[in-house]
Structure 1
Amino acid sequence: MDISQKIHLLGDLLGKVISEIEAPDLFEKEEHIRSLARERRNGDEQAARNLQQSISTLSIKDARVLAASFAAYFDLVNLVEEDHRVQILRQRESEVFPESNNESIGEAFAILKEQGVTPGQIKTLMENLSIELVLTAHPTEARRRTILSKTERIASLLAELSQNENYPRERQATIHALRAVISALWLTDRVRAEKLTVADEVRTGMYYVDSFFWNTLPVLYRDLEDALEKYYPSVSPPRRWLKLASWIGGDRDGNPFVKSHITAETLRLHRGLVVENLRRELHELGRQLSVSSSRITPPPALLAWIEKRRPFPEHVSYIEQRYSNEPYRLVLSLLVNDLAEASKDSMTRHLLGEHTHQSRLSVNDLLEPLRIIASAMPKSLLNDELQAVIHKVEIFGLHAAHLDIREDSSRFNAALSEILRALNIESDFENLPDEERATLLSRLLNNPAPNLSKHPGVTSDTAETWALFQLIGRTKEIYGSDLLGPIVISMTHAAADVLTVLLLAKWAGAKQLPPIAPLFESVQDLKDAPKILEQLFTSGYYRKHLESLGNTQMVMIGYSDSNKDGGYVMANWSLYQAQEEITKIAAKHKIKLTIFHGRGGTIARGGGPANNAIRAQPTGSINGRFRVTEQGEIIASRYANPGLAHRHLEQIASAVILASAPHKEEPIPAKWRQTIETISNAGFRAYRSLVYETPGFIQFWEAATPLDEIKRLQIGSRPASRAKAGAVNQIRAIPWVFSWMQSRFNLPSWYSLGTGLAAIHDVALLQEMYDGWLFFQTLLNNSEISLLKADMDISALYVSLVPDKKLGSEIFNSIRSEYEQTRDLVLKVSRHTSLLELEATTQQAVQLRNPYVDPLNYIQVETLQRLRALPDPDGEEAKPLREIMALTINGIAAGLRNTG
């Protein structure tokens, strides 16, 4: 079956389910509305009026069913498209086999071999290679986990359908199973009844690790080993180069619900998941590895390891007696016993200081005997389950992911200020100039820590910050350094913000501290980043901290807030320049740098094709090390399907390897730099003029988007704003982007680019930059998908909701004019005849989806109108309307394949 046949099959099954469970006439009504939407797309103005009339006369019940039907349809279409992409990938792989597919790890090494890169240079690259995916709890996954599990089941049935195509009976059974799951999907509430808690988010994170990453990441290890063996056989593969981290349960920034006991419980769950998974897999491996000592003589090191473990637990002694010639099974049985004992550990109590002792089981306790066994096995046995288990221990250790700790710099500063005031050291630390703060901190860091009580602060907030640093200290002391990732400092404005964290940690008794990663988010902070790092790298105490970490420094850059602050072009250019400069500063001080990219799913938040995004970074900024956030709906869309997960990860690995390979550095021509500077400055002025300087813009935004409804969604534990304020700089980037995406403006992902390009009258120069500079090409190419998903005619429906008609008309005319200018100039510079001309599959997918997305926008606008007309927006009358709103938000997000 081809893609259109599968879409038709699932659409037909959904129609039958709706007709059976709801009413046949509702399905007919849905088909009529979709038909009108298609005709409107083709330019039929009467169809547009009829569509609006049909939607405006819907009852609440019918509107709910129709919104749910379009949302469910997109869930099914997305699954078919993912299945189709996997089929295409397999076909392409079979066409080039035994050569490597494009943008694969094998192809990367083939290219480097052809370029003359030596084994010695590859060895250095492999020693530096470190790729880490960081899962975050950012609330952009609008679907419930229950819905995700059902769509996973449908995806597996679609794969079965492809395999059973020539077997009618099996095919019919699969179709029956599909209808049953679609029925269950239809009858399941798509909208959460209650707001997510942090504990819910942590469990969802564990679900992602267990379902998406546990079996996928080891495959990439095997890919890299195979590629090295083929192209650079003398180079040993790195043992731990692809890793997983998480913010879920450790991200306190703006989330008052993440407390120390939550973080401690998260660490327990991380350890518990991996300990249990490894126990189960080693138990099964023990049954499979029934290798007799008479066939393969055990290495002396393994026999010595066994003797050191005596006396054995009773059940292990039984295994030794029953399988006396199977020492490999015996060793695995001992490891299974160790993991079973580790699972009994009262970890949360230890971390919270109620009862502490050193952890008895370390990663090396598992790896040492497993590697000895592997060294004795023939290659045919090594490449199967045994090697996969070893890779899992190398990737995960004894925890599901490194847990990052994130907090806003102002919170750390407030806590220390209160402590210093209580100790009569400084009465107003928070408000001192940055240089004076840094001087005071340096002096205090070099002095002995004062004798402080368990909770030295006056307020509960300060006590909680203090408890956090005590937890960090205990975690490192009891369980080692692998459980925690860096301490990420949001809104880092000065070197003193980093030194504050060092002092709090020292005074709280944390003898070992994880890396500290300043996060630079605003345009100004990105410009100040090099100066701040220079100050840190010349601070004696901070250099001692870096030396304890092998002279490594992680720096995080934020794509979301920089966009919200300066607009699309200025944000991207500021991020590029910051990376160039901090790379130079790190090299000057002989610091091994890792740049941590805080990207989201949409173009406005750093999303887009991963391979080009990595290769477009400044020369030398990656150098084998790449860390990136994976947020919300992106986690499921990229990793739920094993085939697509593997493809995305191999593209990341390929791009990092190629970007890090030694090559002659070609400086960016000065005239290109001057040109992009002009473009970004013009774009910055246009963006700030609209968003920050236009009177009434906030009122326009609030009225012409479903912002309030997005804030009410039960999709995250964190509040939508950093503070109670109506300013753009106080709203978080996710609802900012989410609201514009829902109303089809998609403004943050393109606005200001047109004005910027128009400031350059030499089109030939822009075309030269597009052809020769991957950064500039990626900047324009990414805007194309944003422009294609935007729809000013649909946005006009939302503008009709703005009470001040004159204000609405003026602002919308400015936005539409900029949209048209941006679209026209992007096409002119790229020499494309239509948006996404070179990405025909994506272009067609967007165009095919629009007749299904548009009715959801019409329903959403009608529902917003009814909600805002109610005397009490929180009364009983509002509840069914809010359910419809949630369904439309859910469906539009699925249809556009983007939220925030």
Structure 2
Amino acid sequence: MNREPKLDRFNDNVLAKYDVYNSIFLTLPYTEIKKTGALLPLFQEICEKGFQMNKNPSEIVERFFDKYGEKPSEEEKIDLLFRFIQYIERQVVLFDAIEDASFPIVNNMEGRGTLRNVKEEAEAKQKLGELQEFLKRFSVRPTLTAHPTQFYPGSVLGIITDLDKAIQKNDLIKIRLLLAQLGKTPFFNKEKPTPYDEAVSLIWYFENVFYQSASKIHNYIQQNVFDGEDIGNEVISLGFWPGGDRDGNPFVTTEITLKVAERLRRTILLNYYRDVRKLKRRLTFRGLQDTMSEIENDIYYSAVSQSGRIKLSLEDFKQKLKDVRTVLEEKHQSLFVEEVDDLLNKLYLFGYHFATLDIRQDSSKHLEVLEEVIELSQNSEDLLPADFKELDEEAQVNALTHAQGKIDVGSLPEGMGKSTLSSIYAMKEIQQTNGEKGANRYIISNCGSVQGVLQPFAFIRMCDWEKPTVDVIPLFETVPDLQKAHVVMEQLYKNKVYREHLDRRGNKQSIMLGFSDGTKDGGYLMANWSIYKAKESLTKISREYGIKVVFFDGRGGPPARGGGKTHQFYASLGPTIENEEIQLTVQGQTISSNFGTKDSCGYNLEQLISAGISNEIFSEGKNIISDEDRETMTELADISYQAYSDFKKHPKFIPYLEKMSTLKYYANTNIGSRPSKRNNSAELNLSDLRAIPFVGSWSQLKQNVPGFFGVGTAIQKLEEKGDFEKVRQLYLNSEFFKTLLENSMMSMTKSFFPLTAYMQDDPEFGKFWQIIHEEFLRTKALLLKIAGYKDLMENQPAGRASIQARERIVLPLLTIQQHALRKVQELSKDDLNEEKLGIYERMVTRSLYGNINASRNSA
């Protein structure tokens, strides 16, 4: 094992290699302008010096052309700037590939947070029995979503994978070829991908990464913690949203849902087929070859059959392998038993579903469905009372509770009712082909009431499903909804019919909590503290009613969307929060950075597992927040919430995002199938705006407001009243608070205010920019004071170095983006420049990609 400090390993294996391979990349002659690669480093230097001299982006761009151009025309300038964008996008890819290739060297694959370390710690503390008992009931479920926070098409992901391998072997000839291929490969879609396209792209990770990494971890636990005995529990399961997530995405249809489920099933069967073929080559003994040939033929038929017919059931597949295992033990000295066990474990983990396809819809859409069902009820006594709307709240709840029947979806007109109810029938169909785990979760976005849960629960029962094998999962997102979530759930636990449903589902209730919209609504501290307190209240009420609550966290990539160091977050949750299952959404650049290779996937899955173990077994009371610390945290959250709310109410808040940021350009990027707003109104409404373009726009400005705004003001208020030491003690005592502040430091490390400093002189937005900048400086100074650091992220030097390297790569890109935005503002005042205006708007859009992808180390 390499004993060098992590920062040295990063510098030697990432930065040094990037310098070498980037120099090769910049000399490749694949563009019409041969000097592009030679000019880009010169432009980068001009950018760095220009911002040090307080120049604005347009002045920097013009300075470059004055110094290195040969009196270029406007058209030639524009052409070169577009070429620079293309080069920088590919530099980000190169850096990604080098980081992936160096992952096992930079990270200690057997160090803290790995399973080997956990086992050794359990043995040293004589807690191996506790560890075994916990692993029998604990699990981790990463759920891949298609939220558009990365845009790499499949062809580019393939190049990253191949580059990764070539870099590991230091194969310069192959690297040069791949860099040349990279230069010729398109990076953006001319049209938006369909939800099915998104699903296919992400299933690649299941097929090529998770399939091996998850089973390897399961095998390790079985062999090393349980001495070869069956664990009796899926320590890792997988979730999937593309093709099932209808929230705000009108392009997700029932047909696509069924196609995605079929793709998941065929993919896992083909993976099994490959493994069976490998196993068959080993099991050449008498009495086994015929069995292995039968399995091989049946699995292949099931994988490729156009009818979708399964020739070998999952249970029969398992039984045949168990029979093979018995023969190996009894007659062949247990030769290749481990290989058989590996395949059996994969069958146990992935079944014929591979990953659970979640169905999700917004609660407001259920109100539209309800209207249609009430209309249908005029002719059917099985559904709802015809006078449902006139009933009081209690009577409506009672009617929804007891509603059932069989709605004929075919007889419904095209609309929300038909699409929603047909998605429920699709769940039944998927369960018949892929098994119950194929689609057994219905998630309700923006859920804040008992009816919000009971409406879809009623719809499910109205689809000829009296005892549904489906978990109904409310998603609480806004601060007010989080604060009353436990009241909603207690009413549901008291509901006799719903409680009977939970009994059938193993007395387990999954509840989703949304970090992204929570941050957009309440600011960074309040969102995180509201979720923490909601988890405590929900845990308490669930335990009182004998329900095991499972929290499913809607996390994004950057800290502002609930990302950051997630394993530290889960390790910090105390005994007042149920934590036997860690379920979280993973998306965009977080998928490729944390789970994009077998090494990184295995490492980060182990980190999540060890976080749960540490919280439960090794914490020894350290993760309990005292009453005094709790008061301090509440006071900080309240003050920051007020500061953030006042900021949102500023009359320039929405105009600033519309005119000075890249917000309106997100819809043009074609990086995701989902619209950037929940409605089609022309006017920008913050509540309808999705968290991704909201947070992303601040990121493009290099201001990262959602990751820190209000934090500095809150700490300063306590400092002014002589309570700074209380904040310091909270930081020292609470891993939860410490993790929040460290993630906030990450957001600020990615901020760069010189980029937009020109805005302080803007007659309309100057004062607003200053409000943001002052809060940034205030927060930075106070966080450094609390932590005792001289620099942000001082305790994570390798992570800081990675961010700085990426920020340096994209600085020219951001300079071009801001220059183009300034040109757009200038040209918008003159109707005669529509063609030129369109060119600069395209430049803004094209410049979004590289910066989005460069943020992959947010989590």
Question: TM-score w.r.t. structure 2 length?
Answer: 0.90
Matched, 1:67 2:27: no
- In the other structure, the counterpart of 2:596 is 640
Cα deviation for residue 534 of structure 1 reads 0.5
- In the other structure, the counterpart of 2:98 is 80
Letter in 2 for 1:755: T
Name the SS of the counterpart of 2:261 in structure 1: helix
Alignment of 1:864-875 (within 5 A): 864-868=821-825, 869=827
Deviations 1:80-105 (A, max 9, x none): 2333332133xx45xxxxxx521111
| Residue number among 410, 417, 420 corresponding to 2:364 in the alignment | 410
- In the other structure, the counterpart of 1:520 is 476
Deviations 1:171-219 (A, max 9, x none): xxx2122111111111112121111111211211222212222222111
| Residue number among 398, 401, 412 corresponding to 1:439 in the alignment | 398
Preserved contact between residue 140 and residue 581 of structure 2 (Cα < 8 Å): yes
- In the other structure, the counterpart of 1:774 is 735
| Residue number among 656, 669, 680 corresponding to 1:713 in the alignment | 669
- In the other structure, the counterpart of 1:7 is 18
Matched, 1:475 2:426: no
- In the other structure, the counterpart of 1:115 is 125
- In the other structure, the counterpart of 2:710 is 752
- In the other structure, the counterpart of 1:539 is 495
Which stretch of structure 1 is more off in the superposition, 125-134 or 235-244?
Answer: 235-244
Alignment of 1:367-378 (within 5 A): 367-377=318-328
Matched, 1:285 2:295: no
CA distance in 1, matches of 2:128, 2:264: 40
- In the other structure, the counterpart of 1:616 is 572
CA distance in 2, matches of 1:758, 1:260: 52
Preserved contact between residue 405 and residue 463 of structure 2 (Cα < 8 Å): no
- Cα 1:484–1:46 change in 2 (3 A) is closer
- In the other structure, the counterpart of 1:167 is none
Preserved contact between residue 559 and residue 858 of structure 2 (Cα < 8 Å): no
Which stretch of structure 1 is more off in the superposition, 818-827 or 472-481?
Answer: 472-481
- In the other structure, the counterpart of 1:859 is 816
Matched, 1:259 2:240: no
- In the other structure, the counterpart of 2:143 is 134
- In the other structure, the counterpart of 1:295 is none
Name the SS of the counterpart of 1:593 in structure 2: strand
Deviations 1:745-788 (A, max 9, x none): 11111111111111212222211111111111111111111111
Letter in 1 for 2:351: G
Which stretch of structure 1 is more off in the superposition, 123-132 or 265-274?
Answer: 123-132
Preserved contact between residue 335 and residue 366 of structure 1 (Cα < 8 Å): yes
Deviations 1:674-724 (A, max 9, x none): 111111111001101111x11131011111211111121101111100112
Cα deviation for residue 432 of structure 1 reads 7.0
- Cα 1:484–1:193 change in 2 (3 A) is same
Preserved contact between residue 560 and residue 600 of structure 1 (Cα < 8 Å): yes
- In the other structure, the counterpart of 2:454 is 499
CA distance in 1, matches of 2:394, 2:149: 39
Alignment of 1:311-710 (within 5 A): 325=286, 327-343=287-303, 361-377=312-328, 381-382=335-336, 385-424=339-378, 425=384, 434-442=393-401, 444-445=402-403, 449-450=404-405, 452-455=407-410, 457=412, 460-477=415-432, 479-511=434-466, 512-661=468-617, 665=621, 667-691=624-648, 693-710=649-666
CA distance in 2, matches of 1:572, 1:503: 32
Deviations 1:143-193 (A, max 9, x none): 2222111111111100111xxxxxxxxxxxx21221111111111121211
- In the other structure, the counterpart of 1:832 is 789
Preserved contact between residue 422 and residue 457 of structure 1 (Cα < 8 Å): no
Query: Structure 2: where are the runs of 5+ without partners?
Result: 1-11, 66-73, 379-383
Preserved contact between residue 418 and residue 458 of structure 1 (Cα < 8 Å): no
CA distance in 2, matches of 1:477, 1:20: 52
Preserved contact between residue 414 and residue 430 of structure 1 (Cα < 8 Å): no
Deviations 1:834-892 (A, max 9, x none): 11111111222333343332211110012223344256799765665455334321222
Preserved contact between residue 245 and residue 359 of structure 2 (Cα < 8 Å): yes
Name the SS of the counterpart of 1:544 in structure 2: helix
Preserved contact between residue 83 and residue 155 of structure 1 (Cα < 8 Å): yes
Q: What percent identity do the matched residue pairs reach?
A: 24
- In the other structure, the counterpart of 2:856 is 897
- In the other structure, the counterpart of 2:167 is 158
Cα deviation for residue 335 of structure 1 reads 1.4
Matched, 1:210 2:207: yes
Cα deviation for residue 831 of structure 1 reads 1.1
CA distance in 2, matches of 1:590, 1:684: 34
Letter in 2 for 1:776: F
Letter in 2 for 1:555: I
- Cα 1:798–1:22 change in 2 (3 A) is farther
Deviations 1:503-553 (A, max 9, x none): 111111125331111111111111111111111111111111111111111
Letter in 2 for 1:895: A
- In the other structure, the counterpart of 2:779 is 822
- Cα 1:49–1:710 change in 2 (3 A) is closer
CA distance in 2, matches of 1:204, 1:55: 39
Preserved contact between residue 745 and residue 792 of structure 1 (Cα < 8 Å): yes
Letter in 2 for 1:744: K
- Cα 1:393–1:6 change in 2 (3 A) is same
Which stretch of structure 1 is more off in the superposition, 425-434 or 178-187?
Answer: 425-434
CA distance in 1, matches of 2:832, 2:438: 46
Preserved contact between residue 30 and residue 184 of structure 2 (Cα < 8 Å): no
- Cα 1:677–1:522 change in 2 (3 A) is same
Matched, 1:740 2:705: no
CA distance in 2, matches of 1:589, 1:620: 15
Letter in 2 for 1:403: L
- Cα 1:565–1:137 change in 2 (3 A) is same
- Cα 1:385–1:124 change in 2 (3 A) is closer
Matched, 1:783 2:777: no
- Cα 1:450–1:160 change in 2 (3 A) is closer
| Residue number among 190, 194, 209 corresponding to 1:193 in the alignment | 190
Question: TM-score w.r.t. structure 1 length?
Answer: 0.86
Name the SS of the counterpart of 1:284 in structure 2: helix
Letter in 2 for 1:191: F
CA distance in 2, matches of 1:360, 1:416: 41
Letter in 2 for 1:770: Y
- Cα 1:552–1:160 change in 2 (3 A) is same
- In the other structure, the counterpart of 2:70 is none
Preserved contact between residue 405 and residue 464 of structure 2 (Cα < 8 Å): no
CA distance in 2, matches of 1:696, 1:606: 26
Deviations 1:788-820 (A, max 9, x none): 1111111335677xxxx3331111111111111
Preserved contact between residue 358 and residue 440 of structure 2 (Cα < 8 Å): yes
Matched, 1:270 2:264: yes
Letter in 2 for 1:892: N
CA distance in 1, matches of 2:192, 2:323: 49
Preserved contact between residue 363 and residue 444 of structure 2 (Cα < 8 Å): yes
- In the other structure, the counterpart of 1:888 is 847
CA distance in 1, matches of 2:97, 2:334: 36
How many residues are treated as equivalent by the alignment? 822
Preserved contact between residue 476 and residue 512 of structure 2 (Cα < 8 Å): yes
Which stretch of structure 1 is more off in the superposition, 68-77 or 740-749?
Answer: 68-77
CA distance in 2, matches of 1:772, 1:432: 52
Letter in 2 for 1:79: A
